[in-house]
Amino acid sequence: MGFAYQNVDGRQFHSIDEARAEEHRMKRVPLGDLLDRGFEFFDDHSFGLPGNGLQFNEEGLRAFCGQVGAPFSLANRMNRGHRGL
């Protein structure tokens, strides 16, 4: 079983204010910070540090793999128990 990522439906915004409200609701986490602090994969669906994990959607997981120089197909082959890349 590969690393599980979240399915996210596309959303259309009808105004810039609506888009900004959604942006304020989201949290951006620099991957470099997590990598520097010793990230771990948890139960094949979460990534981060104990008490501070996050989940990816497909685009985010692809971007993460590109950032660390790993092929996306590697994430689809990872199994429970692997730590780091």
Task: Say whether pLDDT at 71 is over 80.
Answer: yes
pLDDT-derived band at 16 (thresholds 50, 70, 90) equals: very high
pLDDT-derived band at 67 (thresholds 50, 70, 90) equals: confident
Question: What is the spatial distance between Cα 38 and Cα 49, in angstroms, rounded to a whole number?
Answer: 7
Give the pairing type, strands 40-42 and 46-49: antiparallel
Task: Say whether pLDDT at 85 is over 50.
Answer: no
Question: What is the spatial distance between Cα 2 and Cα 44, in angstroms, rounded to a whole number?
Answer: 7
CB 57, CB 5: distance < 8 Å: yes
DSSP 8-class letter at 35: H
Q: What is the pTM of this model?
A: 0.58
Domain of 43 in residue numbering reads as 29-77
Is 59 a domain residue? Answer: yes
> Is residue 29 classed exposed, middle or buried when 0-12, 13-18 and 19+ CB atoms within 10 A define those classes?
exposed
Is 48 a domain residue? Answer: yes
Higher pLDDT, 71 or 5: 71
Count: domains in the chain: 1
- Residue 2: per-residue pLDDT: 61
Is 21 a domain residue? Answer: no
Is 10 a domain residue? Answer: no
